[in-house]
Structure 1
Amino acid sequence: MDELMLVAATPFKRNNKNSLSIKDFEFVLSFDLKWMAPDVASKVRDRAIGAHLLKFSGAELVPNFDMSKIEIPHGFKPSGSIFKERSTIEDIIAMIVANCGKNARDTTALINKKQEQFDDLVDIEVAGLLTAKELGCDIDPLYDKVYGKVFSKDENTT
């Protein structure tokens, strides 16, 4: 299970709620659990929104995945890797895991298979979006990011 997804799910699970204010979400991460400073909790919240794990419903944060499928392991505490920037393909994999009930390993295999179907002529991110679309995921939130990455490459490279 994706660590960022577990961190994003924890405040909702802890409060047994389907929505939380930004303040309440960050309070759980920083003061209740003492996992991180409040400014870091804000950055983690922003990363979870950017990865489409959380979204806004009015002024409230809501999970963008099925909370009933999330089990927080006993004694779970995020590692330092939660704070590193994720690649585009990692965001695509996290989106598929969050929305389609697949695990990261199976998702990666599906994306690799899709890329092989195109004889490796498409970037892995494009194969990821195609896989996500086939699985019924809404790819709109990541489409522009992939488009920018694919078409910002130097046209002189082969």
Structure 2
Amino acid sequence: MDELMLVAATPFKRNNKKSLSIKDFEFVLSFDMKWMAPDAASKIRDKAIGAHLLKFEGAELIPAFDISKIEIPHGFKPSGSLFQERSIIEDIIAMIVASCGKNTKDTIVMINKKQEELGDLVDIEVAGLLVAREIGCNIDSIYDRVFDKVFRTGEKST
């Protein structure tokens, strides 16, 4: 299970609600769970929105995945790596998992298989986009990042 997805699901599960205000979402992460400072909770919220794990419905945050299928392990606490920037392929995998209901391991296997089928002639991110498209996932928001990484020379993109 993706760590960011577990963190994003926690405030909803803890409050047994399908939507939360930004303040309530961040409050749970910062003060109820004591996992992070309020400014870090804001960054995690933004990261989860960027990964299409959370979205807005009016002024409320709602999960873009079925939280009833998420089990938060007893004693779970996010690792420090959650606060690091994820690579593009990690974002693609997280988006496929969140929007199409695939698990992380199966998603990675499908992406690797697609890259092998193409004779390793495409970057892993392109293979990820192809898999997402084939299984009907909408990950349009990441196309520009992949394009920049694959086709813009001399520029580094994460």
Please confirm whether the aligned pair reaches a TM-score higher than 0.5, indicating the same fold. Answer: yes
2: CA distance, partners of 1:111 / 1:17:
34
2: CA distance, partners of 1:66 / 1:132:
19
- What is the Cα-based RMSD across aligned positions, in Å? 1.0
2: CA distance, partners of 1:88 / 1:10:
24
User: Are 1:26 and 2:26 counterparts?
Assistant: yes
Match of 1:63 in 2: 63
- Are the equivalent residues in 2 in contact too, given 1:66–1:99 (CA < 8 A)? no
Match of 1:105 in 2: 105
- Are the equivalent residues in 2 in contact too, given 1:56–1:62 (CA < 8 A)? yes
Which shows bigger deviation, 38-47 or 99-108? 99-108
Distance apart, 1:153 and its partner CA: 2.7
Match of 1:149 in 2: 149
Which shows bigger deviation, 135-144 or 19-28? 135-144
Unaligned runs of 5+ in 2: none
Distance apart, 1:102 and its partner CA: 1.9
Distance apart, 1:81 and its partner CA: 1.0
Secondary structure at the aligned position of 2:61 is classed as strand
Match of 1:126 in 2: 126
Identity of aligned residues (%): 79
Match of 2:49 in 1: 49
Q: Which TM-score applies when normalising by structure 1? A: 0.93
- Are the equivalent residues in 2 in contact too, given 1:55–1:62 (CA < 8 A)? yes
- Are the equivalent residues in 2 in contact too, given 1:30–1:36 (CA < 8 A)? yes
Unaligned runs of 5+ in 1: none
Which shows bigger deviation, 57-66 or 5-14? 57-66
Secondary structure at the aligned position of 2:119 is classed as coil
2: CA distance, partners of 1:136 / 1:69:
20
2: CA distance, partners of 1:122 / 1:57:
37
